[in-house]
Amino acid sequence: MKPSERDQVLVIKTTFKLGEGIGLTGHDIELLEPEIAFITENTGVEAVALTTTEGFQIAFATVPSYHLDSDAFSGLASALTMTGRLTIMSVFQKELDEIIVRAENGYIVVSSAGRLVLVGASRLISSLMQTVRIFRQAATRIAQNFPMRA
């Protein structure tokens, strides 16, 4: 990644939303903030969101030059997650870990994180494998604090 692009990633402004339907407390947000920072500091993603499996947005961050509707992005993560979970369960009888969607000019990574979902997008194809690795690490830590509900 070029230095100017890296500088853009570091100025990402993250917004956290609390909602009654989400059921997260201020303490929960304190646990999640470092994970979003870890992702933005260690990947080439230009947009990142943390959502519930139902698509309720908890956090969203983007570089200034990347124009993306945060609610649509969160909804996309939910749709991909639900479809992926049904597919993996039907075919392999296992839980979904992640979804990687790649095009010629970008990619989206969706990672299950317990009862939450991480989603990131970038036009920097060369950063895909680094992003997957970092998402796996962050998703594992988030899942430990926010396991699936029985």
CATH code for position 80: 3.30.450.30
pTM for the model: 0.85
Measured between alpha carbons, how far is 68 from 21 in angstroms, rounded to an integer? 24
28 belongs to a structural domain: yes
53 belongs to a structural domain: yes
140 belongs to a structural domain: yes
105 belongs to a structural domain: yes
150 belongs to a structural domain: no
Measured between alpha carbons, how far is 100 from 79 in angstroms, rounded to an integer? 13
39 belongs to a structural domain: yes
**What is the pLDDT at residue 30?**
86
37 belongs to a structural domain: yes
Sole residue written with tokens 């790649």: 102
**What is the pLDDT at residue 135?**
98
**What is the pLDDT at residue 3?**
39
| pLDDT per residue as tens digits for the range 7-24 | 444 334 455 554 445 678
Range of the domain at 15: 3-145
- Cβ(116)–Cβ(58) under 8 Å? yes
36 belongs to a structural domain: yes
| pLDDT per residue as tens digits for the range 31-78 | 898 999 999 999 999 999 999 888 888 888 888 888 889 999 999 999
**What is the pLDDT at residue 131?**
97
| Residue of 26, 41, 19, 21 whose CA lies nearest to 137 | 41
Residue 105: pLDDT above 80? yes
**What is the pLDDT at residue 21?**
54
Model confidence at 136, pLDDT cuts 50, 70, 90, reads very high
Phi, psi of 14 (to 5 degrees): -100, 135
- Mapped onto helix, strand or coil, the DSSP state of residue 148 is coil
Structurally, the chain folds into a number of domains equal to: 1
